[in-house]
């Protein structure tokens, strides 16, 4: 006998690839105790959708248009604290896992697992557990903490798309000399030769 509608676990699904989003929604909806109540394709739509639909669990991809799933996870933690967050991503990077936990996420899984495992993870995080892909957890422990400070991450992130030091300084409300110091420190910590390489390496490690 199917579960009563009012007893189902309400899910919000954030995934920018339409085919993947539709497939996940269909497969999760086949579980008698799960119901997908909202689907969004952009990170900056997550909080509004959660405030409107009040999901029990939000399944968030990381790399989304508008705003990353990690940033949205932190916003959900503050604005919709009753909603548990489960990060579901193709990018199983140790740095992403650490940032997800810092943002208040209750779980982190890569997308190549079976849907039954994902459904079980949803139930577990709702019950209060923290669910993390075991291989990724081991990799995160081996990798150590993110070496970049918040300001160094901000400066590197703002350096994308060829922004000048003056552009970055204006965007971050810092002096140009301070921006240069942050970028220089980030280049040193990533073991790279310039800010373009530093940005690429920081993203590869999941530090941004």
The verdict on 137 and 163 lying in the same domain is no
Do 136 and 75 fall within a single domain?
Answer: yes
What pLDDT tens digit does each residue of the chain (208 aa) get? 334 445 899 999 999 999 999 999 999 999 999 999 999 999 999 999 999 999 999 999 998 999 899 999 999 999 999 999 999 888 667 778 888 888 899 999 988 788 899 999 999 999 999 998 887 776 666 666 788 888 998 999 898 888 899 999 999 999 999 999 999 998 998 889 898 989 888 888 878 8
> Whole-prediction pTM value?
0.69
Give the count of domains, the chain: 2
> Based on the domain organization, do 97 and 163 belong to the same domain?
no
pLDDT of residue 27: 93
Give the side-chain half-sphere CA count within 13 A for 99. Answer: 26
Domain CATH code at residue 73: 3.40.50.2300
Domain final residue, candidates 126, 142, 158: 142
Q: What is the structure's pLDDT at 200?
A: 87
Say yes or no: 27 and 114 in one domain.
yes
Helix%, strand%, coil% for the chain, nearest 5: 55, 15, 30
Specify whether 93 is located in the same domain as 163: no
- How many residues make up the chain in this entry? 208
| Residue-number span of the structural domain to which 32 is assigned | 5-142
Question: What does the DSSP 8-state code read for residue 159?
Answer: T
**What is the token pair recorded at 187?**
């280049």
Separation between Cα atoms, residue 187 and residue 207, nearest integer Å: 13
Cα distances (angstroms) measured from residue 95 to each of 102, 140, 143: 11, 7, 8
Element of type H or E holding 34: strand 34-40
The SS3 of residue 82 is coil
Tell me what pLDDT residue 141 has. Answer: 63
Residues 61 and 128 in one domain: yes
- Alpha carbons 103 and 83: distance in angstroms, whole number: 13
Q: What's 166's domain CATH number?
A: 1.10.10.10
Is the distance from CB of 146 to CB of 99 less than 8 angstroms? yes
Q: Hey, what are 106's tokens?
A: 């209750």
At 43 the pLDDT is 95
Query: Token match 């508008």: residue?
Result: 66
């Amino acid at each position: 006998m199917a579960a009563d509608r009012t007893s189902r676990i309400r899910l919000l699904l954030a995934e920018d690839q339409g085919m993947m989003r539709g497939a996940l929604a269909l497969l999760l909806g086949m579980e008698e105790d799960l119901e997908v109540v909202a689907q969004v394709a952009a990170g900056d739509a997550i909080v509004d959708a959660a405030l409107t639909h009040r999901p029990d669990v939000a399944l968030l991809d990381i790399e989304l248009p508008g705003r990353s799933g990690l940033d949205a996870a932190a916003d959900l933690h503050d604005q919709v604290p009753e909603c548990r967050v489960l990060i579901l991503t193709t990018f199983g990077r140790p740095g992403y896992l650490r940032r997800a936990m810092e943002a208040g996420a209750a779980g982190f899984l890569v997308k190549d697992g079976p849907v039954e495992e994902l459904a079980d993870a949803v139930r577990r995080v709702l019950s209060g557990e923290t669910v993390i892909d075991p291989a990724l957890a081991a990799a995160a422990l081996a990798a150590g903490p993110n070496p970049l400070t918040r300001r160094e991450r901000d400066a590197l992130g703002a350096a994308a798309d060829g922004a000048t030091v003056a552009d970055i300084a204006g965007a971050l409300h810092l002096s140009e000399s301070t921006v240069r110091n942050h970028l220089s420190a980030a280049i040193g910590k990533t073991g790279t030769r310039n800010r373009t390489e530093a940005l690429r390496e920081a993203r590869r490690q999941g530090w941004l």
